[in-house]
Each structure stands twice: as C-alpha cells, then as structure tokens.
Structure 1
C-alpha cells in the first residue's frame, strides 16, 4: 500500500463577468476565496503556511503578492485576514460602493458586513481597555472610624472613638479619617471604645 502524496499547493479562483473596481464586491470575492480554500484544506487535513494573491488587471497585465501566515492555519478567518492584508497592500482602493441586485451577492455582502462589524467591535473593545488603563484610579475610602457624641445640656459632647459598625456607638456619629482618629487618640482628648478598641488597631499604646 503506497500512501497518496497530497499536493503542496491549493489554488482557488474567482472571475468577474466584467471589469470590477467596487471595493465591497472585491472584498466579498476575497471572502469567498478564503472560505473555499479553507474548506479544501480542511478536507485534505492540511494547513496553509502562506498565501499568494494573483490579480488579473483589465489591461491584460497582472500583479501577484505573497504573505506568510503568523501561524499555519486552515481557518477561514485566518485566511481571510491575510488575503485582505495582501489586497490592502496592493492599494486598489478605488470607486464608490455600488450594491448588486441579485440575492446571492447581497448575501455575500451581508456576511462581509458582519465580519467587518465584528472586527470593528473587537478594535473598539481593545481601545476602550487602553483608555481605561490610562485613567487615574480613584480609590474608594470606606469609613473605618467614627466619633460618637452624647447630648448634654442641649449640646453635643464628644464621647468615644469607635471602629465603624461598633454597636456601642451612639446614634450621633461623625466619620473620621485614619489621621483624624490617630490625632484624637494620641492627644487623649477623646478616649477609645473599650469594646471595639480602635486604639489597638491604630497602634496607639497607653
């Protein structure tokens, strides 16, 4: 039994019925070529390492360019991306967009628009991540310490410093920053709560 040797190259072609400059239809044709080529490669169990795009010009001449794939592949999207890159490098970006009338070509254009929109959304998401990474991060400071008050003779009198959420704090409290709590505790003007012990947490020793 002699194993059959697979061909080292695969060729697909697309011929227009008339001279074509429409960039949308040309990209649609490239998408069709990428789809056909990918299906053929997968049927053979092969992958492509590079692509060559040959374009026949209206004047009888032609141009040909080759590009390697970043990673050998038989996926339609990978082949389509490289084909579009080759086409862009050829710089045949001319003529206004004209939509065909037949259903088959409109379906191809619809698929092309979906792919372009998906690529645009991916680029937008990447750009949003870059912009978000450059924004200054605003830290959210949660209240950790409070100063409770008692009512004496119609006025408020500082009573104790508590950790936030302490059940011994009165109903009248004022939030404190760490520096404010440290200053009050160090000055001995306001005592620390004997239950939640904010002085221990803040490192204020007797």
Structure 2
C-alpha cells in the first residue's frame, strides 16, 4: 500500500533511535566518571590539608615536618595525624618547614 512504512524502515529508525540513546548514555557515564574523579581528588586534598607529613632526611639536610598540602614536598602517602605531628616536631632532628609553618596548625587545637 501507498504511504506505509516497511518493517525494514521501521527497524532502521529504531536502530538509529537506540544508537542515539546509547550515545547519550555513554556521554552521561563519561560526565559522571569525570565528576567522581574530581570529587575523589577533592577528598584527597582535604585529607592532606588536615594532615602533616615528614620529608625524610637526605645527605646534608634535616628531616622536615610539613602540612599535608605543602607543595615543597610532594607525597600521597604516609600522612600523620595531629598527635604524631606533635611528637615529630618535638624530635631534635626534625625541623618545621619555614614556608608552610606546620606548627601553627598544631598549636590551634
């Protein structure tokens, strides 16, 4: 009959529609993955900012205590809590970083 859509054309239209839906879903998944990654980095930064870290002693240098977020010494592990940082700062062979001044965060609590 004239004007009717064939089964083949209907199924091609359906495939086009499903492919469109799949592209939309994949784009949404990518957006959510980016958002989750950004949130994870923000949580890690917040954790670092509330912690301290020790830069190990090297030849000719002294071990140094930093705020967790201090960029003079980069590490993603081995963070200290407040009590551990206080103990470290009391050690004679560990100095406080003169840039981030970690002792100021220790004195506030």
Short-chain TM bin: 0.3 to 0.5
Larger radius of gyration: 1
Q: TM-score, normalised by structure 2?
A: 0.46
Q: TM-score, normalised by structure 1?
A: 0.29
Determine which structure has greater relative contact order: mean sequence separation of CA pairs < 8 Å that are 6+ residues apart, divided by chain length.
2
Tell me which protein shows more helix as a share of its residues.
2
